[in-house]
Structure 1
Amino acid sequence: MPTLTFPTRLRQRFPLLEPAGVLVFTVGLVTYIGVKDPNEAGHYPTCPFLMFTGFYCPGCGSLRAIHALVHFDIGTALSLNILTVCVMIPMAVFHYVRWATERYLGRSIRKRMVPASFIWALLVGLLAFWFLRNLEPLAFLAPYGVAPGDLKWR
């Protein structure tokens, strides 16, 4: 019988230790974003991609969207980054719950959580969102519906 290492024994004795640590970290981070308003200058750095190119990246507006969600302002959150609110957060919650459940039930964590086709579809969707939110006719996908050309730098 092989000797179990310390992390393996700890993981067997406390199966929810790692999921609890991730949950505490996430709650702390979301609480910080909820308290420190990203709409006020000086709390967070500007998106480097936006600063250097003048175009929105797929993540632009995510901090503000999370801040709006913390304050139960779903409409504003959707207008800031619909991808984060409708795809990324639900997907992260789903995979976290799946991981924590498998740990709690003592099942081995699968190496492949999703098929490769899902990863490719997500990548194509992310790239399409990145491109489309920077087009003038689809400015509603941009944060607050402001097209990149309409940005006014201070």
Structure 2
Amino acid sequence: MPPAPGHGPAPVRAPAPVPASRLRRVAKPAGVLAGVLAAFAYVGTVDPNETGHYPVCPLLRLTGIYCPGCGGLRSAHAVAHGDIAAALGSNAVAVVGYAVFAVLWVLWMVRAAAGRPLRIEPKAVHWWAIGSVLLIFSVVRNLPFGSALAP
């Protein structure tokens, strides 16, 4: 016969989750920043303007057409040296990407320190808009009137 309610072994309860320390919460954004800073430090010391350090863009090599990423390393090198004008001249979209990353990283760090997750859930329309901007940028930088956007 089963034991009557309230009698018998007590149910086993999982221990309450221990809140993560602030240091533990900011470890991921801090690690991502460390990786990004290491990459910028490397590109800042190994000049992409000198041939032989980095591979050539395959699209540029095969077709002579600048892709949306062409000039990105030169742009990162210029940013690492504080030359924003040269960075914009090498790849304006990359500079905008660096700025967007910086804003999102700060938001991530602030929310992580407060113990709140950062949720970014772009919809399909956002991805289409980003792709469209990159396509337009690629086409314009390869036309004669858009040569100022070419690296």
**Alignment match, 2:109:** 100
Offset at residue 64 of structure 1 (A): 0.4
Alignment gaps of 5+ in structure 1 = 144-154
Deviations 1:15-37 (A, max 9, x none): 01111111111111100000000
Residue 121 in structure 1 maps to residue 129 in structure 2: yes
Identity of aligned residues (%): 40
Q: Distance in 2 between matches of 1:119 and 1:100?
A: 24
**Alignment match, 2:142:** 134
SS in structure 1 of the partner of residue 48 of structure 2: coil
Q: Distance in 2 between matches of 1:3 and 1:128?
A: 55
Q: Closer, same or farther in 2 for the Cα pair 1:111/1:62, shift >3 Å?
A: closer
**Alignment match, 2:76:** 66
Q: Distance in 1 between matches of 2:82 and 2:76?
A: 10
Offset at residue 116 of structure 1 (A): 4.1
Q: Closer, same or farther in 2 for the Cα pair 1:91/1:3, shift >3 Å?
A: farther
SS in structure 2 of the partner of residue 12 of structure 1: coil
Q: Distance in 2 between matches of 1:28 and 1:122?
A: 27
Letter in 1 for 2:115: G
TM-score by length of 2: 0.81
Q: Distance in 2 between matches of 1:19 and 1:78?
A: 26
SS in structure 2 of the partner of residue 119 of structure 1: helix
**Higher helix proportion:** 1
State the Cα RMSD in Å: 2.2
Q: Distance in 1 between matches of 2:36 and 2:143?
A: 33
Q: Closer, same or farther in 2 for the Cα pair 1:3/1:73, shift >3 Å?
A: same
Offset at residue 93 of structure 1 (A): 0.9
Residue 56 in structure 1 maps to residue 76 in structure 2: no
Offset at residue 67 of structure 1 (A): 0.7
TM-score by length of 1: 0.79
Count, aligned residues: 137
